[in-house]
């Protein structure tokens, strides 16, 4: 018999693992139910107030002119041999220059990097990708096709298809999650890593279980586990939720930020109002609880983490904790008046910070 305080026997360890697993999934599905109930009440409230407006959904047939602005770059497509998927991206800068690969978040697409496409094309081949399931990129129908290992492999395959073996990798939000994982799994492919408003994935999974406030802010992760209902809720009142995410006082771009124009908003509405356009993006989240936590954690290349302190979805404390997982030069910059949509909110400052980081000595020791 094991003495008090001694290590558990193998059967005891197995029981603890099973118990923790059951508790974890009980938390996931319980909170999922809470989020669905809250969404259902909001829907009923909308129907009661404006029944005619609630179910109005306009499909935009023609893209706004900004999506074809030649100053942003050239629209290109690449088909990946192994998966068979065709990816859409916008590229600026001369071929043969060092590659800068940009990964957007949710609910965004390549256009969220418009300020960076213009800025960095002088010295880089800048590629803003539509991730699997987004925009003009192919969208497999089954949620199993959006597991994290598939998304990580996409980036590796795209890099090789573009004729590169290394890049400066930049990711925002969910694209930041993917960027961290690519840097962990394929460190030889990333010269420098830049992440905007997303902590190291291990920090995120550990922090969310210990801080109810972050659990509440991440409620959409749980809500998205439900089939079809999240997609429907986005269409209510002609995509009012989508507009609100970018423009409201609570979650939108800050008062001192670079406000989205009416044409910018129309660009997002054009992409996400197409039939079925939301299922692929939301499927990214429908596998996350089976893929985390990570087995490998360390990031070995120089890393820049940029953070908007007024982020309504991610608590700023996670940014500083991220430092312990980066075994190289790590720079953290927190912008006090910036929102979650940092590279669109404060593009001039963000671009300046990126330039400074890119020109720093890569051999510099971690601060």
Using 50, 70 and 90 to split pLDDT, how confident is the model at 112?
A: very high
DSSP result, 204-261: HHHHHHH-HHHHHHTHHHHHTTSSSHHHHHHHHHHHHHHHHHHHSTTTS--TTS-PPP
Q: pLDDT tens across 146-172, in order?
A: 999 999 999 999 999 999 999 999 999
Number of other residues whose CB lies within 10 A of the CB of residue 154: 22
Considering only residues 363 and 78, tell me which one the structure prediction assigns the higher pLDDT. 78
Q: First CA to last CA across the chain, in angstroms?
A: 48
**pLDDT computed for residue 2 by the predictor:** 41
- CATH domain 65-359 topology: Rossmann fold (3.40.50)
What's the predicted TM-score (pTM) here?
Answer: 0.89
Q: Which of 156-160, 234-238, 360-364 is the least confident region? A: 360-364
Using 50, 70 and 90 to split pLDDT, how confident is the model at 118?
A: very high
Structure tokens given for 104: 């957007």
Domain segments of the chain as ranges: 20-55, 65-359
**pLDDT computed for residue 37 by the predictor:** 85
Q: pLDDT tens across 258-273, in order?
A: 889 999 999 999 999 9
Q: pLDDT tens across 74-105, in order?
A: 999 999 999 999 999 999 999 999 999 999 99
**pLDDT computed for residue 312 by the predictor:** 94
Number of other residues whose CB lies within 10 A of the CB of residue 81: 9
DSSP result, 176-206: HHHHHHHHHH-GGGEEEEEEES---HHHHHH
Please compute, for residue 150, the number of CA atoms within 13 A of its CA located in the half-sphere on the CB side: 20
Q: Catalytic residue positions?
A: 173, 285, 340
Whether residue 1 has pLDDT greater than 70 = no
Chain mean pLDDT for the chain:
90
Q: What distance in Å separates the CA atoms of residue 281 and residue 112, rounded to the nearest whole number?
A: 15
Q: pLDDT tens across 265-299, in order?
A: 999 999 999 999 999 999 999 988 777 666 778 99
Q: pLDDT tens across 4-50, in order?
A: 444 445 677 777 766 766 666 676 667 777 777 887 888 778 888 77
């Amino acid at each position: 018999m094991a003495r008090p305080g001694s290590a558990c026997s193998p059967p005891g360890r197995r029981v603890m693992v099973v118990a923790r697993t059951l508790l974890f999934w009980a938390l996931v599905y319980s909170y999922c139910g809470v989020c669905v109930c809250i969404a259902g009440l909001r829907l009923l409230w909308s129907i009661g107030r404006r029944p005619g407006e609630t179910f109005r959904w306009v499909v935009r047939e023609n893209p706004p002119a900004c999506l074809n602005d030649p100053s942003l770059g050239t629209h290109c497509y690449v088909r990946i041999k192994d998966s068979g998927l065709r990816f859409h991206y916008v590229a600026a800068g001369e071929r043969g220059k060092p590659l800068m690969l940009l990964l957007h978040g949710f609910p965004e697409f390549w256009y969220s990097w418009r300020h960076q496409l213009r800025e960095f094309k002088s010295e880089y081949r800048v590629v803003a990708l539509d991730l699997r399931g987004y925009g003009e990129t192919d969208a497999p129908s089954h949620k199993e096709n959006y597991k994290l290992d598939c998304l990580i492999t996409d980036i590796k395959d795209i890099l090789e298809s573009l004729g590169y073996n290394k890049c400066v990798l930049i990711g925002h939000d969910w694209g930041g999650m993917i960027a961290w994982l690519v840097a962990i799994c394929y460190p030889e492919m990333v010269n420098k890593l830049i992440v905007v408003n997303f902590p190291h994935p291990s920090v995120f999974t550990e922090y969310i279980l210990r801080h109810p406030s972050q659990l509440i802010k991440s409620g959409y992760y749980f809500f998205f586990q439900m089939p079809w209902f999240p997609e429907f809720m986005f269409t209510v009142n002609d995509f009012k939720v989508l507009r609100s995410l970018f423009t409201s006082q609570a979650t939108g771009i800050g008062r001192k930020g670079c406000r989205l124009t009416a044409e910018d908003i129309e660009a997002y509405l054009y992409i996400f109002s197409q039939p079925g356009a939301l299922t692929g993006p939301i499927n990214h989240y429908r596998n996350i609880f089976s893929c985390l936590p990570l087995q490998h954690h360390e990031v070995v290349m120089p890393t820049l983490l940029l953070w908007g302190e007024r982020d309504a979805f991610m608590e700023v404390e996670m940014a500083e904790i991220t430092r312990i997982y980066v075994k190289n030069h790590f720079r953290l910059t927190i912008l006090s008046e910036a929102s979650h949509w940092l590279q669109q909110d404060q593009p001039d400052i963000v671009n300046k910070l990126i330039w400074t980081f890119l020109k720093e000595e890569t051999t510099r020791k971690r601060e």
